[in-house]
Structure formats: C-alpha cells, structure tokens
Amino acid sequence: MSTDYRPLDTASLEFGEDGTPYSIKYDDAYHPHAGAMGQARHVFLAGCALPEGWKGRDDYVVIETGFGLGHNFLATWEAWRADPNKCRRLHFISVEKHPFNASDLAEAHAKSGAPPDLAAKLRAQWPLPMPGFHRLHFDEDRVTLTLLFGEAHMMLPELRAQADAIYLDGFAPGKNPDMWSPAVFEALAERAHTETRIATWSVSAWVRTALAEAGFLTDKQAGYGGKREMLCGRATTISERRRTPDDRRAIVIGAGLAGTSMAERLAARGWDVQLVESASQPAQGASGNLAGAFRPLPSADDGRLFQITRSGFLYGLRHIKNLQQEELNVRWAPCGVLHLARDPEQEEKQRMVVEAIKAPQEFVRYVDKRHAERIAGAPVSHGGWFFQMGGWINPPSLCVANLARHPGRVVARFSTHVARLQRVGKLWRAVSADGKLIAEAPVIVLANAADARRLAMADWMALRVARGQVTHLPEDTVPALKTVVCGQGYATPAIDGVTCAGATFFADDESTHVRLGDHLENIDKLHKMLPGFAKNAPMDRFGGRVGQRPVSLDRMPIAGELPSVMSGKGFDLNSVPRHAGLYILSGFGARGLVWCSLLSELVASQIANEPLPVPESLADRVDPARFLFRKIRSPLVAEI
C-alpha cells in the first residue's frame, strides 16, 4: 500500500424519490427499488451457484467489489446459516471506498428487510472509517468479514486470498468507472482459480469485454427487479484452488501474549493445540506485568508502523469485547491514553499529524496542555495525543481468557522445557533435554520470545532481549490519574492499590532483579511527563517487576513461516524456501498488547491457507525472512 495517507470520504444516507438509498456523489441508487435482499439472492448467490457451491467444503471465499449497505454480505450469511450442508468456514471480503456510519446502516437495514439479528451483529462490530483492512468475526468465528476500506484498484492487489465466488457490485459503470476498470478485473482474475464463479447485475458491453480480457468467460441470464439481464460466468485461469490442511494439529511454544493468542486463533479454526510452556503457569515473562498501555501510534505518512499498530489496536479492541461478551474476564479499563509530547516542537508535530490523517476523534485527537491536565487529573508538561478508545490491560488476564475460550481445543503443558525440535516426515517434534518426545504435530509456532532463535537455529534473525523494569507506586502516595499517560515513559491509574510507572529499556541485559537505579530512572521519566507526580512517594515503598521483552532491531514484529536458507540471495520473499510448518511469532517489544491478537490471526491464516487479515505488503514487512535481504542498522532503542 502507498504510504501516502488518504483519509476516507465517508458516505451519508440519502434517499431517492422512490425511497431507495441513493448516492448524490455518484447519482445512482445503492440497489433496485425491487429490493436489496432480493437482488442479492437472485444476482449474486444464485448467479454464483450458491448455496450449492459451498456444499461440503471446508471453507469458501467470496470477494465483493462495493460493500455499500452490506446487503450482499447479509444475504450470503443468512443463506449460509440456513444451509445444513454449508461449508465449515465462510470468508467474505469486500472493498468499499465510501463506508457508511453505523447509524445510517441501521436506518437503511430497517427499511430494506435485511435480517434484523444479523444486521444488528454487523453494526455492533462496525469499524471506524479508517483506511485499510478490517477483520470481523461472527458465529463463533465460522463467518469472517474482511472489509477493505479504500480504492478498489489499490486494495485488491494487496489482498492475499483466492476467491471461490466474485460479486461485482457498485454503482453503474458509467457513474463509477473506476470500480469496473481493467485494473480491478485483472486483480480479481489473479485471485481466482479454475472453479471461481462470478456474477454481476451489469451487462454493459464494456464490462463484458473487460472481463473477457481479464480471463472471465461470462454469459447473460435473466436479471432482477426490472433488469432484463445479468451476467454470470467463470474464471478461465489455470490456477488450482488452494486447499486447507487436513491435519489440524499444532504445537505452540510459549504461554505469554503471543503464545496464548496464537493458540486461541488456531483453536477458533477447529485446530487442536498443544501449548508448551517452561514456566508453571501462563504469562510469567514480559506478559506478566500488572498493566500495560493499549493504544496505536499515528504518523502523517501512514508508514508501516502506523498501519500495523492501527490495525492491531482496532482488531485487538474487537477481540477483547468479544471475550467480554462471552463472560471471559479480561481485566482492562477503556479509560483513554494520553500521549504527551516531550517538548513544544514535538507537540506541534503531533498536532499536525492529527490534522493530516483526519481520523475520527474517538481514535485520536490533539489536546493542548490545559485540556490534557483535565483529562489526566494531574499537572502535565505538554499537550499531545488523546486516544479515547485506549486504556490499560492486565496482560495475564488476557492470556487466561484466550486459553479458556475454546474448551478442549487447547491442552496446556506447563513446567515443560523444549530442548530442541526435530523434523520426522511431515511432523515436527518438540523434544526434552533427555530426548523424550513432548509433542508432535505438522505445525509448530515458536512464540517463546527471544528463545525462538535457539529452537529455530536462526542466529541470523535480528531478535534480541531488552530488560524492562516497571515501578509500582503505592496508590496513597501519588495523585489519582484518570487516564493512562505516556510519552517518555508511562503511568497508569491505580490498579490493585498501585500506579504502574515505567519502563526501563536495557538491551541484552538478562538480569531479572529489581534495581533501585531503574526505579529512579522511571521516576525521572515520570516527572518529565507529570511534574512532581511522585515527589511524596517514599522509595522504601516502591515495588516493581522486571520482564525480558523480545525486540527486533527494526522495531517491527516477526510473524510468519521461517525460511530454510541463510541468505536471500537469488530469492524474493515469495520464493524463499521455507521450513514447512515452522512458524514464529515474536519481536513485540513493548507493543505486545497491541499486536498479539492481529498477528496471531495473521499467522493462523497463513497456517490454514486462508485470506490474510492485513495487506500483503504489511505481511511481507513482518515476515521473518526479511532479515535475509538487508542488514538492520537501526540502533536498538526504547519503544514509547
């Protein structure tokens, strides 16, 4: 994706003279007066031979151009639910340049005859109107909706997926030619296979010609709602349909945020997971802190770090809410996060970033010093960003909730150290120091922080440890913060009687002992953000905790299948030979809470051969094989 940030131009609900939802911008209706649901069933489902087409399938993928008001998705989901022979998992992927807000969707759905229960579930998870990929899960994760907010000709080439059915919707070709362009059709053809079906209500000669040139064979059939004809057809590609694995067993090593999130995402797909952890219980390493800040990191140019923290934040927020709805207790508080500037120059840059990205105010807004003090409930040094949807999370509670979500699917083996890995046939084996078999499966994910390098025998990987000490200040010795405050360090509202402040950052320091000097460093950073905040806190009452965080030298996480070569010479990322079935999930640094859910979904999608939840360029950016192609010269610095 381009790093030129393009704020979305959202849609507003208008109605034509006949009461049909109408776009003034494109001078066209969103669906025929005869009905959106009727068109969806006749043109798109029947036109793509559904529900018969997914009968007995393990998974089925629909790609749509033009989500609009969501009727095609709702009709497909409704048909899937009603079909006793439905596929095990349904993926629906849709591009939308001008998304509606949830209230407009509610009004349109009430008038269109959309299934009210499904429409309400869709709106409950409806994402903020921000560019990029947004993945939503329904029906115990058996139905997945991936929304691509942006221009179709830019988003589709970034989609790593293979379609079983393609719905060509959107405004009329004469009104919105970009949606029906050769570039769009070529991108769709590249994501088709020999059995892919395609359908659209348009029978324009120009559309038929462009589809034929892209590799689709179409013919006219009876149309719907006053339209005499519609188009149905097939792809003529020679690409075979990708298959999902038959043996759904995996080993995950590590039971922190990365490992438990990974186990949960695989279990959600019906995989049986053996979770192996050397400690006696989950979240004993860097994931064991009392609380961590949960917020994204904006930038004016929409760089990769902003993209992945934004997507991880929004996906992680939906994940936590889903856990809560299932009465799985995640300790967290959406109290907001105030990210203060370190000086007036940085504060001005933060203000300019907010102006540039034009994000919804609930995602981020600039606040001056006076406003920041009202939000924090304490004196502050400068203004900065306020993330209203952010807050603090207790990492151990998230780990426990992940493990409890799919009873019977995840078997945890604690106090078990993996000495080495073995490949025997198509299986990976985790072996103890005395040579005994711990577990075996066709897939293994190394989510054991920096120790993953040892098990993968990957000394070339730019992954190191960084010691981080958090200081615990007694609640009665400091002012009561109303929100998380971060910048040069961070501080939380009181949790279990203490305010957490931190954290130090010392690369390659493996000591786990709490140090007074580190406490003093944390207090110094705290006072630079919140002047005099801890002046009355006696040092003899300081508590704290040390965690060893896995950090990549380029500050990006590491997620994907491990390469089986030591150099990238002669390859690109797509052609690098891999250790089949050997994956890594690490390098989160101080951003484990923001990245763990999304990147586990990414790796699980790779393992299951499903559509990816992030743009292909972003998946490449976190690919472990990236380190084979360039020398990482960035210094290892603290992540704020």
3-state helix/strand/coil string of 105-147: HHHHHHHHCCCHHHHHHHHHCCCCCCCEEEEEEECCCCEEEEE
The pLDDT assigned to 3 comes to: 44
Task: Report yes or no on 157 lying in a domain.
Answer: yes
Tokens of 147: 């929304």
Instruction: For residue 484, give both structure tokens.
Output: 């998380």
pLDDT at 397 (0 to 100): 98
Please tell me the predicted confidence (pLDDT) of residue 302.
Answer: 84
Q: Is residue 155 part of a domain?
A: yes
Query: What pLDDT score does 5 carry?
Result: 63
pLDDT of residue 1: 44
**How far is Cα of residue 201 from the mean position of the Cα atoms in its chain?**
33
| Cα separation, 236 vs 374, whole angstroms | 62
The answer as to whether 223 is a domain residue is yes
At position 266, the amino acid (one-letter code) is L
SS3 label, residue 228: coil
Instruction: Give the residue numbers spanning the domain of 137.
Output: 14-235
Task: Please answer whether residues 264 and 405 qualify as being in contact, where contact means their C-beta atoms are separated by less than 8 angstroms.
Answer: yes
Query: DSSP readout, 283-329?
Result: S-SGGG-S-EEE-----TT--HHHHHHHHHHHHHHHHHHHHHHTT--
- Can you name the residues that pair with 430 across neighbouring β-strands? 421, 439
Q: Distance between CA atoms of 256 and 267, rounded to whole angstroms? A: 16
Domain count, the chain: 1
- Does the residue 3 lie in any domain? no
Ramachandran assignment for 532, one of left (phi > 0), alpha (psi -120 to 50 degrees), beta (any other): left
Position 498: which residue type? Answer: V
Q: Residue 515: inside a domain, yes or no?
A: no
Q: How far apart are CA 65 and CA 79, in angstroms?
A: 20
> Which of 84, 107, 96 minimizes the C-alpha distance to 145?
96
Query: Which helix (DSSP H) or strand (DSSP E) does residue 404 occupy?
Result: helix 395-404
Q: Which residues of the chain have pLDDT under 70?
A: 1-5, 631-640
Using DSSP's 3-state secondary structure scheme, residue 436 falls into coil
Whether residue 57 lies inside any domain: the answer is yes
pLDDT score at 632? 56
Q: pTM score, two decimals?
A: 0.96
Torsion angle, alpha carbons of 162, 166, 167, 170, to 10: 70
Q: How far apart are CA 427 and CA 441, in angstroms?
A: 5
388 vs 364: CA distance, rounded Å: 7
b/e map 382-400, b = 16+ CB within 10 Å: bbbbbbbbbbbbbbbbbbb
| CATH code at position 83 | 3.40.50.150
In a domain, 106, yes or no: yes
Rg, Å, the chain Cα set: 26
Helix (H) or strand (E) holding 376: helix 369-376
